[in-house]
Chain A
Amino acid sequence: MSTSLQRGITTLLAQIDAPVATFFSTCVHCGLCAESCLFYTETQDPKYTPIHKLEPMRRLWQQEYTFWGKLLKKAGLSKPVTDEELTEWEPLVYDSCTLCGRCSLACPVGNDITYMVRKMREGMVASGHAPEGLKGATQRAIEQGSPMGVNLKTLKAQIKHAEKETGLTVPLDVEDADYMMVLSSAEVADYPEIISAVTRIFKQADVSWTLASDGFEGTNSGIQIGSSDLAADILGRIVHAAERLKVKYVISPECGHAYTALRWEGPNLIGRPYPFQVIHIIELLDELRSSGRLKTDSVDETRMTFHDPCQMVRRGGVIEQPRNLLKQVAPNFVEMPDAGVQNWCCGGGGGVSANHRAERLRIKVFSRKKSQLEAVDAKLLVTSCSNCRTMLLDGLELNHMDVEVIGLTELIADHLTDNAEGKAS
C-alpha cells in the first residue's frame, strides 16, 4: 500500500467520532437523502446519492468498528479501500457536493451527511485526492493570501476607488476600532462596490470600523478542500490581524463558507476561543436597522426575490435578517418556493466553483434554481454571497434568463438616507 493511501486511510479512520459511527450504524439505506440533493434531482443519477458519496469511509468504519466487519476482515474476506477507489470517489466527494446541507435536514433517521462529507474530504486530501483546481486555489491561498491572487495592492486600488466615489475615508489598520471588516477575494476582484457600500453605511450609522492590511481575506480554501491544517493557517491570518488591532468584532463578509470558517469552525481549527466576536455583515446591518441606526429613505419597486446562501442560512443561522432588510427597501419582495432553510444551492459552493472539472455538472444542476426563479417570476435576484452571485450570473446567462443579480448590502446602500458626504450610486 502506498504511503499516501495509508495516510488517507489513517486520516479517514481518525475522522470517525461518535456522530460519524452513529450515522453509519443508523443508515437504513432508504435513499431519501437523494431526493434532497441537487446533484441527484437534476441528473437522476443514483451515484450522487449523498450517503453513497461516503462509501469508502463506510467500509473502513465497518471493518474497524462492527462485529461482522471485523470478523470478515480477520478472515481476509473484506474488500479493502484502494487508491483506485478513492480516485473514483473524488468527483463524487468534490464535484457533486457543495456541502449545502440539505441532505442533513432530509435524513429521516437524523444522519448529518454533510458533516460526514466534510470529514471524508480530510481523508481525500491526506491521500492526495482532490481536484486540481481546488489544489491550485488552496496553494495560492497559502502562498499568496488569496485563492484568486488578490493581494494588498489590489485591495488598496479598490479602496482608492471607493474613497473617490464616496468622498469618504476607508479606514485601514485602525487600532481599537470596534469592528474589523473582512472581505472575500471575489468581492475585491469582481464586486468592489461592497467597499463603498459598507463605508457609506457605517458612516451613516456611526460604526467604528476598519479593514486590516494583513487580514482582509475571508475565503478559506482549506475548508473547501477539507484540510483542517490549511484551514487553520488561512484563518489564523484574520485572527492575528484582529488581535493586533484589538477589535471587539470581526465582520464576516458576503461569502458563504467564510462564515462557516470564521463563525463556527474557526475556534476549533485554532484550538482556542477568540478574544473577539464574529458577526455576519447581514446580521450587523439588521441590528443597525432594528436599533434605528440604519436609515433608508427610498425603495426599489422591482419585483425581487432572495437566494439563500447555504452556509449563511441553512448552515449558518442567519435566516430572518436578510428578509427584514429586504422588507425595508423592497415593497415587491417575494419569496421563491422552498425559501429559507430549505432553499436550493446555487451549485457552486464548497469548492465546486474552483473545480474546472465540475463545471459541466454545475451548469446542468442550475436547472433547479432556474425552475425556482421561473416559479417566482422576479426581475431581480438578491443574494449575500459573492460566489453564489457569480454562479447565479453564470447560470442565468447560459439559460438566457432576463433576471439581474445584486448583493444585499449594495442594495441597502443604494437607498441610504442621503447625507452631506457620500452619494447614492
Chain B
Amino acid sequence: MDQELLLWVRGTGLQIATAVFVLGMSYRVLHLLLLGRKPSLAVARGSEWAGGLRTMWQRSFMLPSLSGRGLFTVIAGYVFHVGFLITLFFLSQHIDLFRAVFGFGWPALPRGVIDVAAVLAIGAMVALLVHRFIDPVKRLLSGFEDFLTWTLSFLPLLTGFMLLRNIGFEYLTLLTLHIASVELLMVVAPFTKLAHMFTTFMARWYNGAVNGFKGINA
C-alpha cells in the first residue's frame, strides 16, 4: 500500500501536479496580459521598458527607512524566500531530480548550508505566521487564503527537513509525505496569491513603466 502510494506520487501524481501548475500559471499570466493596457498618448520623457525592467530587478532590493513591523516583515520575508529557494534549487537530491527531468543540473551546496537555510526559512515562516495574527494591519488584510498558502508552503519545508534527518516517521513515509506536500502546493498555487511568483514581475514592470515613461528613476 505504502509502496504503491509512493510510486503513484512519484509518477502520475507528479505529472498531474506539474500539468496543473504549468497550465494554471500560464493561463493566469496570459489572462492578465490579455486584459490589456491602454497606451498613453502623452509625450514620453523616458523609456517604459527601461523603467519596467529596472523596477523588476530593483524592487527586490528596496529597504526603505522602516521601523518595527515594517523592518521585521522585510527581513523575515527575505529569510523565508532566500531559504526556501536555496533548499529548492541547491539541495543535491533536488538537482538530481531536475537533471532526470530536464537533462542538466548544476553544482549543489553543502548539506550544512541547506540545513541552515531550511531551519531559518522554517523559523521565518513561523514568525511571519505569528505576526500575521498579532499585527493589526496584517490581521485586517488576512483571510483564509493567507493561512492556506502558508500551510501549503510550510509543509514541503517541514517534511523535507524531517526527511533529510529521518525524523518522526519511517523513510518511505516521509518521502511520500514530502512529495505529496509539494504536489499539493503546485496544484493549488496558480489559484492563489502564490501566483505572485510570476505576476510580481509583471506588476513591477507596469509600475516601473509608468515611472520610466515620466523619466523617474524609482
**Interface positions of A (Cβ within 8 A of B):** 16-19, 21-23, 25-32, 34-36, 40, 46-47, 49, 51-52, 65-68, 104-112, 115, 263-268, 271-274, 277-278, 314-317, 319, 338, 341-342
Contact = CB atoms under 8 A, between A and B. Distances in A.
B29 to A, nearest CB: 9
A26 B193 contact: yes
Nearest to B215: A317
Interface residues of B, number: 56
B141 A35 contact: no
Contacts of A265: 42
Contacts of A28: 193, 196
A18 B200 contact: no
Given A16-B35, A29-B138, A35 B216 contact: no
Contacts of A27: 193, 196
Contacts of A25: 28, 32, 193, 195-196, 199
Contacts of B204: 109-110
A235 B60 CA distance: 38
A109 B200 contact: yes
Contacts of B195: 25-26
Given A18-B37, A267-B42, A112 B206 contact: yes
Contacts of B210: 112, 115
15 contacts: A17-B35, A17-B37, A18-B35, A21-B35, A23-B206, A25-B195, A31-B69, A65-B31, A105-B64, A107-B59, A109-B196, A110-B200, A110-B201, A110-B206, A314-B216
B13 interface: no
Nearest to B66: A35
B56 to A, nearest CB: 8
Contact of B146 (A29, A111, A272, A317): A29
A17 B38 contact: yes
A306 B141 CA distance: 36
Nearest to B56: A110
B42 A110 contact: no
Contacts of B77: 30, 108
Interface string B181-213: 000000000010101100111111111101000
Contact of B40 (A32, A268, A319, A341): A268
B41 A46 contact: no
Contact of A35 (B42, B69, B205, B215): B69
Interface string B133-175: 0011111111000100000000000000000000000000000
A32 B70 contact: yes
Given A26-B195, A26-B199, A272-B41, 11 more contacts: A22-B202, A31-B135, A49-B140, A52-B141, A108-B74, A108-B77, A110-B205, A112-B203, A271-B41, A274-B43, A319-B216
Closest 10 CB pairs of A and B: A110-B204, A267-B41, A31-B137, A110-B203, A35-B70, A317-B214, A18-B35, A29-B141, A19-B206, A46-B136
B200 A26 contact: yes
B65 interface: yes
Tell me the interface secondary structure of chain B in the complex: helix
A111 B191 contact: no
Contacts, number: 154
A267 B73 contact: no
Contacts of B43: 273-274, 277-278
B16 interface: no
Contacts of B208: 110
A193 B212 CA distance: 35
Given A17-B38, A109-B203, A317-B216, A26 B65 contact: no
A36 B202 CA distance: 22
A178 to B, nearest CB: 17
Contacts of B137: 31, 34, 40, 46, 49
B45 interface: yes
A57 to B, nearest CB: 14
B55 A18 contact: no
A320 to B, nearest CB: 11
Contact of B138 (A31, A40, A112, A314): A31
Question: Interface centre among A32, A110, A314, A316, by most B CB within 10 Å?
Answer: A110
A267 B40 contact: yes
A286 to B, nearest CB: 14
Given A25-B32, A36-B64, A110 B41 contact: no
A316 B218 CA distance: 12
Question: Interface centre among A27, A31, A47, A52, by most B CB within 10 Å?
Answer: A31
A26 B202 contact: yes
Contacts of B206: 18-19, 22-23, 110, 112
B138 A18 contact: no
A31 B199 contact: no
A115 B37 CA distance: 13
Contacts of A36: 64
B19 to A, nearest CB: 16
A18 B77 CA distance: 27
B100 interface: no
A32 B73 contact: yes
B33 interface: yes
A28 to B, nearest CB: 5
Question: Interface centre among B37, B41, B65, by most A CB within 10 Å?
Answer: B41
A268 B42 contact: yes
Contact of B193 (A29, A34, A40, A110): A29
